[in-house]
Amino acid sequence: MATDKRNLYIGGNWVDAANGAEFPVYSPATGTVWSSVADASRADTQAAIDAAREAFPAWSSTPHSRRARIIHKVGDILEARAKELHEILVDEGGSWIGKGMFETYYSSGVFRAAAAAAYQVNGEMLPSEYGKVSLVVREPLGVVSVISPWNFPMILSSRGFAPALAVGNCVVLKPSEETPVAGGLVFAEMLEEAGVPPGVFNVVTCSRDNVAEVGDELISNPAVQGISFTGSTAVGRQVAAQAGGLLKKCCAELGGKDALIVLADADIERAVNAATFGSFMHNGQICMSVERVIVDSSIADEFTSKFVANTSKLNVGDPHELGNCIGPLINRKQLDKIRGQVDDAVTHGAQILCGGGNDGLFFEPTVLGNVNRDMRIFKEETFGPVAPVIVADGVDDAVDIANDSDYGLSAGIITRNEEQGLAVAGRLRTGMAHVNDCSVHDEPHVPFGGIGASGLGRHGGRQGIDTFTETRWITLERGGRQYPPPFLMNPG
């Protein structure tokens, strides 16, 4: 069911775009218009940044306990609205209802962790040769721009802005044009209800046509001191380069080509379950999805046959139904990219072991065999329900295959030998690695992020606090430091 037309949230007010423009949001499952949303321009973005800048002095000086209570209350409101939010995630973003349930539950935890972060903005006292009081303090940046994606809109938006707010920043959020309601406007409603002061949190939504100018303003505006970006590597490079040129802090969580390494001594059932979930949860539309299943040659045949059998049981259909864990892709662009990679792999010798077809945006869960490093499916991020199986000759070969990527987000290692698993994890060039689990894993309080083409900086944990604060050194002189006599009024 379509929602009413939705406006921007600027300075505590719900407002139309300055020029009155709006754009349609389509439901991936039905292809019909689900909502109409205000289409912000650069002028609207400037107004939102101005509102955040004006609100910053009061918000940053608000006691941390007060900020924490407001952020914690958002988690309460989110839980109270959970059923409604599940439906929004399904209708607007094509999420399987089970994924929607998980996402709302997890997002409430993001606010709990963020509220705790308000109490953890710690400094330190350093020794001083001159007897000074020498302090290192952490202070909020000021205005932080948050640009979030469509695949997990509630989690990835809240991860970007909740800790930033908790430590005293003011925020302008731009959610994806694919999920502007779930990724942005519902949060404005909840923060308003929780009592956040006007201007502390602002949301600008825009169509793909206006993304370039709105995004540029969110980065280049002099009042913006920090940028949190989650999205594709191609766009993330541009964001980070522009932010770096302006000497602004930027945390960019980008794409992945994550590996699941199944070693010779692996528990096959554990490995198959990890590969199935990691490859096909949310149709593989997760930055840390398993996109390369690397299996030791000694167990490759057994693993692959059982993996194909398990994958073939996954139901494709209406994502409102709990039994249909494979729903629609987000849009035609994603479908065309996935189809192109699969066709290229087959042309170069890969075998489709199951799946491979599609009905509109509903793409069957697909397992590919005989995959090698020369195929696009090995190198490029897929972001879809396709699992390439690559056979490795021993541990060293498996590690070499896994590290043969520009990306470095997450990884999984399946082995009965925990010591070996930790050793392999230590050899992988990734920001995260999980022994006896797949690459898809996160918790609200941990440092999340990658290396290489998977981004820079970290969201979550103490590292996330560092991301949204600045370090300052402050001293108090108590008479111990003497200047050279020529500089003194009375040399003595």
Name the residues annotated as catalytic: 253, 287
DSSP state of 401: H
CA distance 309 to 312: 5
Residue 225 backbone phi and psi in degrees, to 5: -110, -10
Residue 235 backbone phi and psi in degrees, to 5: -75, -40
Burial 131-149 (b: 16+ CB within 10 A, else e): ebebeeebebbbbbbbbbb
Strands 386-392 and 290-296: parallel
Q: Nearest CA to 183 among 227, 224, 231? A: 231
Q: Is the torsion defined by CA of 432, 231, 356, 323 positive or negative?
A: positive
| CA-only gyration radius of the chain, Å | 24
Number of CB atoms found within 10 A of residue 266's CB: 23
C-alpha dihedral, 363 to 449 to 173 to 85, nearest 10°: 50
CA distance 427 to 423: 7
Opening angle at CA 284, ends 279 and 287, nearest 5: 105
Question: At what angle are helices 97-117 and 82-93 packed, to 10 degrees?
Answer: 120
CA distance 48 to 393: 56
Q: Is the torsion defined by CA of 203, 74, 448, 382 positive or negative?
A: negative
Tokens encoding 77: 């409101």
Q: Is the torsion defined by CA of 372, 374, 377, 380 positive or negative?
A: positive
